[in-house]
Amino acid sequence: MDPIRSELTWEPAQLGPDAVRTIRRTSDLRGLFVDAASLEELVRAGDPVVYETYEPSIPEGPGHLRYGLTVLYPGHVGREYFMTRGHFHLRRETAEVYVPLRGRGVLVLQDELGRCRVEDLHPGVVVYVPPGWAHRSVNTGSEPLVFFYVYPADAGHDYETVARSGFRVRVLAQDGHPQVVPVEGP
């Protein structure tokens, strides 16, 4: 294949010209947030976009790297900040690199033993997601959280394990500040 060149724009934050745009609205995220009633209110009030990704069409085969841009908008569902669905990679031996470009947030990481880590995301840091760690980004700021990411193209995405067992922490607003709260359960 030929080399690919992408262009980042800032207002609005986008990756172009040939990236595939995937949009996740509140109605796509039922079951994700703890306050289901507040989510339905948002759906009825216009179903806002929670996040979108832009990814060039790079083959999902071995040897390739896929990269893209995530734009996670500011907002809350009840007290819970807007966040991505979160996933393990299907091939657990694959890692990922996150490079925040704009905004503030956290990356919640959890391995299959249930160990949890929370890393700050803001311009000036790079976060390495090691093999075997599920990852979910959370926008704790008041502007879009924009980050660039790159991962092995054959990684695959496993959303089911996270949907079934969940993350052990949630990130909630408390007096206007983010608070990492353990999830009750076995």
Whole-number minimum distance, CB 55 to Zn ion, in Å? 11
Residue 170 makes contact with ligand S6P by CB under 6 A: no
Question: Is the CB of 43 or the CB of 153 nearer to ligand S6P?
Answer: 153
* Per-position DSSP letters for 69-123, written without gaps between them: EEEE---EETTEEPB---BEESSTT--EEEEEEES-EEEEEEETT--EEEEEE-T
Contact predicate 172/80, CB 8 Å = yes
Q: Say how many residues touch ligand S6P, by CB under 6 A.
A: 13
Whole-number minimum distance, CB 98 to Zn ion, in Å? 9
Residue 68 makes contact with ligand S6P by CB under 6 A: yes
Of 14, 15, 13, 12, the residue nearest 4 (C-alpha) = 15
* Per-position DSSP letters for 6-66, written without gaps between them: -EEEETTEEEESSPEEEEEEGGGGTTTSS-HHHHHHHHHTT--EEEEEEE-----STT-EE
Residue 151 makes contact with ligand S6P by CB under 6 A: yes
Residue 53 makes contact with ligand S6P by CB under 6 A: yes
Residue 137 makes contact with ligand S6P by CB under 6 A: yes
**Identified binder of ligand S6P from the candidate list 15, 26, 77, 96, rule CB under 6 A:** 96
- Coil, strand or helix at 117: strand
Task: Write the DSSP symbol of residue 178.
Answer: E
**Identified binder of Zn ion from the candidate list 52, 55, 80, 96, rule CB under 5 A:** 96
Residue 81 makes contact with ligand S6P by CB under 6 A: no
Whole-number minimum distance, CB 61 to ligand S6P, in Å? 16
Binding site for Zn ion (CB under 5 A): 96
Binding site for ligand S6P (CB under 6 A): 53, 68, 70, 84-87, 96, 135, 137, 149, 151, 157
